[in-house]
Structure 1
Amino acid sequence: MKLPILAGIIVLSGTLLAAPVLSADKSITPDGKPAPSQPHAKPGSKAAEDEAAAAKTPYETVRDVFTGDLTVAGEKVSFPQQNPSVRAIEITMAPGEVTGWHQHHAPLFAYMLEGEITVTYEEIGKKVYRQGDGLLEAMDVTHRGENTGDGPARILAVFLLGDDGKAVVEEPAPGSDKAKVQ
């Protein structure tokens, strides 16, 4: 079969019909599944070496605590553009202690140093966080936390402030009459 005729058979009404297996197509594996984001990052390959070099730190032991750009409520994090600053606090909650309902109008990364807390999010439900967990907390979702563990809960909270955002903004409890009638 001549190449021009084959090209005419493959292209039909402006749509390219793919052959079952194209060795030059690296985006699909032979079994039809999408290829990994680093298709050439096979152990010992140059891409694998580059990946390892990029992840290398000057520290002996590293554990990835959190990586992501979405809060626990699925909000896309956006960093302050004006007056950026960082505030880090350690929060200690006694067993059974409950926070007030609140929101964070600035990105907040939290790391559970000790214990367990259960956070109730308006319209989302409850999530439990334990020692060693890292999270990007909800910003514009009303929530409250409760120490549901047997001992103290300690949380490292790192706020990325700016844009006149406040670290913690008190909110009425979900379901309460947020608009007062006079």
Structure 2
Amino acid sequence: MRRKLRSTLSSAAVVGLLLAVLPNAASATPSRGVTGVTIFEHVVGDTDYVLREVTIAPGGTTGWHYHPGPVYGYVKEGLLNHYDSSCASDGVYRAGQVISEASGPGYVHIGRNLSDKPLVIEAFYQNPVGQPLAVDAPNPGCPFE
């Protein structure tokens, strides 16, 4: 009985892992030219508060993604071109400006640095504990990544 239970649980875990990983791995749009440094991280209750400095190299992109929790950003240097899943620009943000991003798979978006200078953003995440800061998503049909 114990052996059968262990075998069933192991099989279920493998199937769950394959279902969770394989579809996204095949269609996700990876970031290019993005680096990040965590400045601050603190958990309060079921929320993980994280402050990161994110740098996107000239011509770089975040790749299509969404966030499990809301994100607030401050453009420290450069120019951020931001697009939603309709392929439309939903903002161009310059140094000194702020941006907020909604959470959940209903808000797939991409950030691009179309300039010839680095883009630096201070990003503040209010994330559910145990969740990644961003979840890769497939290109929703836009002619760019």
The normalised TM-score by structure 1 is 0.48
**CA deviation after TM superposition for structure 1 residue 111, in Å:** 0.5
Which has the larger helix fraction?
A: 2
Amino acid across the alignment from 2:77: E
| Aligned partner of 1:132 among 81, 96, 99 | 96
1:152 counterpart residue number: 118
2:59 pairs with 1:96:
yes
**CA distance in 2 between partners of 1:164 and 1:156 (Å):** 22
Displacement of 1:139 after TM fit? 2.0
Q: Percent identity?
A: 32
CA distance, structure 2, for counterparts of residue 159 and residue 130 of structure 1? 20
Larger Rg: 1
**Counterpart position of 1:53:** none
**1:10 aligned partner:** none
- Counting matched residue pairs gives 97
TM-superposed deviation, 1:160: 0.7
2:128 is aligned with 1:162: yes
1:170 CA drift (Å):
0.4
Contact 1:109 1:135 (C-alpha < 8 Å) held by counterparts:
yes
Higher RCO (CA < 8 A, seq sep 6+): 2
Which secondary structure does the structure 2 equivalent of 1:175 belong to?
A: coil
The equivalent residue for 1:121 is 84
Cross-structure match for 2:72: 109
User: Higher strand share goes to which structure?
Assistant: 2
Provide Cα deviations, 1:52-98, integer angstroms capped at 9, x if missing partner.
xxxxxxxxxxxxxxxxxxxxxxxxxxxxx951121111011111111
**Contact in 2 for aligned 1:82/1:162 (Cα 8 Å):** no
TM-score if structure 2 supplies the norm length? 0.60
Return the offset for 1:172. Answer: 0.6
Q: SS of the counterpart of 2:111?
A: strand
Report the RMSD for the aligned CA atoms in angstroms: 2.3
Distance in 2, matches of 1:175 and 1:160, equals 29
